[in-house]
Structure 1
Amino acid sequence: MKKSTLTILGIAVMIMALVSTTNKLNAATDPQPEDSVIYRDPMLQVANNYGINALGIRAVGTTGLTYKHFNAKGNAFEAILGFGNNSFSITGLAEKYAAPFDSDYLELYYGFGGHAVFQSDSNLGVDRNRFDDADDAFGLGVDFILGLELMIPQTPLALSLDIKPFFEVATTGNAYFGIDPGFGVKVFF
C-alpha cells in the first residue's frame, strides 16, 4: 500500500475512535430536561474555565509547537513552529470552530492561513523533492486546515486530529502541494 493510502486510512480510524469516545462521554453525562434548550460551546466553556490560550505539540506531518488564542466568539488564531531535518517553518492560521456533532466534547474546526519554510542543505531535508539540491532554500505557501478537537472532560487538555493541505512556491522555482496530516495535544491556560 502507498504511504498516502495508509495515512488516509489511519486518519479515518482515528476520527471514528474520536466520535465513538465522544458518544460514550455524552451518554455518561446527565441529560438536560427536554423542555429546556441549552446550547453550550465547549471551546468557550474551556476558555471560561481554563483560559483563552492553548499551548501544545503537533506531530505526523508538520511536527512542532503550536499556540492557539481564542477570541470571545470561539474563533482562534493558531501559530505552528515546525521543525524538520535542517529545516523549520512558521505557520499562521485563522480558525473557525463549529459544533456539528451532538457532543459536548468534540468540535470541528476549519480555516486558512500561510507559512514560510526555511531549509539548508536540502539533500539532508525531510522531503528532498521539495527544494531540489540548493544549499539553502526558502518557500512561501498558502495553508488550509480541517480538523476535529476532543476536549478531555474535567481537564484543561484537548486532543486534535487534522489535515492541513498547502500549496507552496520555493526560491528554487518549484511549486509543491502537500496534505500535512497532524495529531496534537494541547493544554489550555
Structure 2
Amino acid sequence: MASSPNCFVIVIFAVLLQILFVSASTKSIDAICQKVTDKAFCVKTLSAYPPAVSATTTFQASQAALSLSISYAGKPAAFAAKAAKENPNLKKQFAGCQNAFMTIVASLRSASGELKESPDTANYDVMVCRDSTTMVKSLVGKNADMASKTIVNMTLMMEKILAIAVGAIEAVGG
C-alpha cells in the first residue's frame, strides 16, 4: 500500500510533463503560424510533423519547419526527374523543373544552416525560392499532360510550405 501514493505521484508528474511539453510545442507552432497568411494550413501541417510537435522552443520548431520544407522539395524534384525520363517531348522542361527544385533544396539547406547566426540571410534564402517556383510554373504551367499538372500542383504546395518556412524564420527573428 505504501507504493500506491508513490505511483499516484508518478502518474501526476507524467501527466503534467505531457501538458507542459504539448504546451511548449503548441506555443512554438503558434509563434510560427502567426506569421503565415494561411494559419490553418500552417497549424495543421506543423502539428502533423513529429519534429515540430516535439520541439520545446521556437527555434527547434523553426528548424523542424525548414526540415519539412527541404523534405518536401525533394519530392517534386524526384517526380520531375522521373517525368523527364518518361516524356521525351517534355524532357527539357521537366529537367528544368528538377533543377529548380534542387535549387530550392539547396537554398533551404542554406537557410537552415544560417537560422541561428543570421536569420535575415536565412529569410533571404527562402524568399529566393519563390523565383524557382515561378520558373517551374512558366516551364510546365501551360501544358495539358498529367505530369505537368502534377508538378504545378506540387509547386503550389511548395509555395504554401515556403510560406511556413518564412514564418518560421520570422518567428526566430529574421
Give TM-score, length-normalised by structure 1: 0.27
Greater helix content = 2
Structure number, greater radius of gyration: 2
Greater strand content = 1
